[in-house]
Amino acid sequence: MMMYILAAMLILIASKNFSKFWPALDFPISKYYWGASRKPLCTQPPITETNTDMEINKIKKQLDQLIPHRLFSHINTTTSAAHSMAKIINPKTTYCRGDQLDVLLEVRDYSGQRKEYGGDFLRARISSPELKAGASGRVADFNNGTYLVSFTLFWVGRVSVSLLLMHPSEGVSALWRARNRGYDKVIFTGQFANGTSLVFSECGLVLNTSAELCQYLDHRDQEAFYCVKPQRVSCDALVQLKSKNKQVSYLSSLEKSLFIRSNVGVKILNSFDPITVSVCNNQTMSLKRKCKPGDWSPVSTGYVWNNTWNLVSCNLSYFHSETQMKVCLKGKLVYILGDSTTRQWMEYFIKHIKTLKSVDLHGFGKLRHQLAVDLERKIYIQWQRHGYPLVGSSSYSAKENEYLAHAIDRIAGDRNTVIVFSVGQHFRLFPIDIFIRRAINVHNAIKRLFQRSPETKVILKGETTREIDNDSERLSDFHGYIQSLVLKDIFQDLAVGVIDGWDMTIAYGINEVHPPEYVVENQINMFLNYIC
């Protein structure tokens, strides 16, 4: 018996010493979680840490094969928009609505030499400004310096083609490498309450320090956030957080020259004038079915005409009036989860449905939880932010942090329950594995939700474009595009409604992280079509 007691004491002492030592090790993020584990609170066995890591590595490998890896010694050897040229393949004298317009793009460097490889990050759009119409194009990379850009001619009128070189392939390669090198492009500052005084400490997703750490661990889903532990202050005393960009870059001086404003989003010259699209005699309009969750449309998913979003695969009704929105939302519990691009939805509902009354939940700042109710019609709409990371100079509550998977697990669900979620913008500043893990965890939570409540409707609002001139290393739309691909790959097996924010904002020609109200209105209109 004494031998058993002695052995137990030795194991206990060793485990305590190990727990003090392991947080200081500079392991990859997935390894950080191994030191703290406990039995999950859920009754269903979640995906194991090993399986999640395997899935993350699989997706990262696929992305790594997709993204070019190019070195260069002078900017003159990179792709030049001014020296590249686009021409129509098999031009016609008459174009009919519904036809496909194919454009061949040949890219050259600053010396006028033909590029022998692809990988450039391009943005393709057709538009008719006088009709307030636009649509994105599909880009096929032949990996030899030529691209096939295809557009569907959705409307009648004079149509212009725009091809933008967002980043040359050398820039894409640099951004991908820089993104995945470190977690320290952002400094998080934690505010700890110590009686009547405040103590500030450095926080982050990963901290390379030998100091004692406060570990805020999600044991089940293997997500983590850390703060350097203040002296004589409990880790539970963390009350607020804010962040700022750190003066660190993983780009060389030569690579940085690719991302000055004059080299980002540069128009490629066309060898042709705008075309005119007509209604042809033999055309018939095909009838489209009602939109429903689970529709995964190819690009382009839709187009804009008269500032209104239209889908290719299904028919959208239009909820223009307050009365129509009230009828649709009557008896509904709507949970809006995500970032400030979905908080715009909350603001829209409160502004345009006068009977919705805000409930003061006694939070602070723009990132506080919000609730609005219409008691007569039993409408309940709630917005809450996603969990770490949240990037912004304004302080926000650390006590309201909740990862989306856990927020979804708290929702019982039924035929009158609707969940909208978005993840994206705040993740662009960190290695891609953080984003992939979060998406997988949300996917698993939705899968559990559908098992207990198949009638609950879930809507994914995808990534959107943002400002072109805003710190490419951290916030480039290239990062958003990659995350958009990840979301489609992970969620395509679930019957969720998809609002393709990427396709929509390109069609509208929007370069704002918070799009104007008429774009938000069309996002919400598509959402209402899914639930009514």
- pLDDT tens digits for range 503-525: 999 999 999 999 999 999 999 99
Check if CATH label 3.40.50.1110 holds for domain 302-531: yes
Kindly state the percentage of the chain with pLDDT values over 70.
Answer: 89
284: pLDDT confidence band, cut at 50, 70 and 90?
low
Q: Select the more confidently predicted residue: 227 or 7.
A: 227
Q: Select the more confidently predicted residue: 81 or 49.
A: 81
DSSP state of 130: G
Report d(CA 387, CA 397) in Å as an integer: 11
* Whether residue 152 has pLDDT greater than 60: yes
Q: Kindly state the average pLDDT of the residues 55-73.
A: 95
470: pLDDT confidence band, cut at 50, 70 and 90?
confident
Nearest to 480 by CA among 103, 167, 156: 167
User: How confident is the model at residue 285, as a pLDDT?
Assistant: 60
User: How confident is the model at residue 240, as a pLDDT?
Assistant: 95
User: Where do the structural domains in the chain lie, given as residue ranges?
Assistant: 75-173+262-278, 186-245, 302-531
Report d(CA 72, CA 257) in Å as an integer: 12
User: How confident is the model at residue 16, as a pLDDT?
Assistant: 38
User: How confident is the model at residue 502, as a pLDDT?
Assistant: 95
Report d(CA 26, CA 35) in Å as an integer: 13
Nearest to 119 by CA among 67, 177, 63: 67
Cα distances (angstroms) measured from residue 273 to each of 88, 95, 178, 506, 526: 10, 14, 39, 21, 34
User: How confident is the model at residue 8, as a pLDDT?
Assistant: 46
Report d(CA 142, CA 524) in Å as an integer: 37
Both tokens assigned to 358: 């805000």
Mean of all residue pLDDT scores within the chain? 89
CB distance 529 to 483 below 8 Å: no
CB distance 341 to 166 below 8 Å: no
Q: Which amino acid is at 340?
A: S
Q: Kindly state the average pLDDT of the residues 378-394.
A: 95
Q: Select the more confidently predicted residue: 287 or 118.
A: 118
Architecture of the CATH domain 75-173+262-278: Sandwich (2.60)
* Whether residue 197 has pLDDT greater than 70: yes
User: How confident is the model at residue 12, as a pLDDT?
Assistant: 43
Q: Kindly state the average pLDDT of the residues 353-360.
A: 96
Kindly state the percentage of the chain with pLDDT values over 90.
Answer: 83
**Burial class of residue 371 in the structure, from the number of CB atoms within 10 Å of its CB (0-12 exposed, 13-18 middle, 19+ buried):** middle
* Whether residue 41 has pLDDT greater than 60: no
DSSP state of 274: P
Peptide bond into 389 cis (omega under 30): yes
Whose tokens are 């850390």? That residue is 226
- Other CB atoms within 10 A of residue 102 CB: 16
The pairing of strands 417-421 and 333-338 is: parallel
> Computed from CA positions of residues 325, 518, 308, 488, in that sequence, does the dihedral angle turn out positive or negative?
negative
* Whether residue 141 has pLDDT greater than 60: yes
CB distance 267 to 163 below 8 Å: yes
